[in-house]
């Protein structure tokens, strides 16, 4: 029969516990890393979509400004025509 007070057995028990704890924490770390990788992958699509929408918004604003300038020029030409007719 072995003595439970044997320092070698106590050390062995502690080492076995430490090994089990290490294995558990490594498994947890791997699981957490997989979750992080999954979340990063899931975030890529919405970020791409947001980026695309931002570019589209900028293009629409440029187009709106261009249309505004064209409409203002047309209004100026109409004003010039109508003021010329009323004066003549």
- Please give the backbone phi and psi of residue 3, each rounded to the nearest 5 degrees, phi first: -85, 125
Whether residue 9 contacts residue 3, with contact meaning beta carbons closer than 8 Å, is answered with yes
Whether the predicted pLDDT of 88 surpasses 50: yes
- Give residue 1's pLDDT: 47
Write out pLDDT tens, residues 51-85.
999 999 999 999 999 999 999 999 999 999 998 77
Residue 19's pLDDT band (cuts 50, 70, 90): very high
CA quadruple 44, 46, 51, 56: dihedral sign: positive
- Give residue 5's pLDDT: 78
- Is this model's pTM higher than 0.85 or not? no
- C-alpha distances (whole Å) from 69 to each of 61, 62, 75, 76, 83 are 12, 11, 10, 11, 21
């Amino acid at each position: 029969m072995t003595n439970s007070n044997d320092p070698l057995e106590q050390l062995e028990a502690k080492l076995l516990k430490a090994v089990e704890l290490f294995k558990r924490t490594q498994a947890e770390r791997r699981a957490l890393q997989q979750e992080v990788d999954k979340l990063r992958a899931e975030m890529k699509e919405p970020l791409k979509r947001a980026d695309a929408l931002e570019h589209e918004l900028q293009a629409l604003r440029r187009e709106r400004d261009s249309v505004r300038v064209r409409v203002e020029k047309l209004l100026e030409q109409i004003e010039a025509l109508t003021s010329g007719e009323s004066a003549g």
